[in-house]
Amino acid sequence: MNLDKAKKRIAKYVKKGFKGYPQIALSYFGETSDIATQVSVQFVLEEGAEVQEQRFSGETDVREDDVIQSAIVKIIERAEVQTVLVSDTVLILE
């Protein structure tokens, strides 16, 4: 899957808003607020359930990495996620 297609699919899920569970939250992290070198994918099966987390990292901006973005789309589709939340900012790694 190419980068644009993956980004559009993720954006489509985000645009739907809260539709229930399962839910995925994407948070981006980096050394600066301009480049995200890590993404955290947090999965919640149902309300009150324990959060499962998986992280992906890269040398360049992970928001522009077609492999990582495609993997996120596959996680969303395979888990039949109803809600996708995305952080608008890049959080600084400490």
pLDDT of residue 33: 92
**Backbone region of residue 74 per phi and psi (left: phi > 0; alpha: psi in -120 to 50; beta: other values):** alpha
| Tens digits of residue pLDDT in 44-90 | 999 999 999 999 999 999 999 999 999 999 999 999 999 999 998 99
| Tens digits of residue pLDDT in 22-42 | 999 999 999 999 999 999 999
pLDDT exceeds 90 at position 94: no
| Tens digits of residue pLDDT in 1-28 | 899 999 999 999 999 999 999 999 999 9
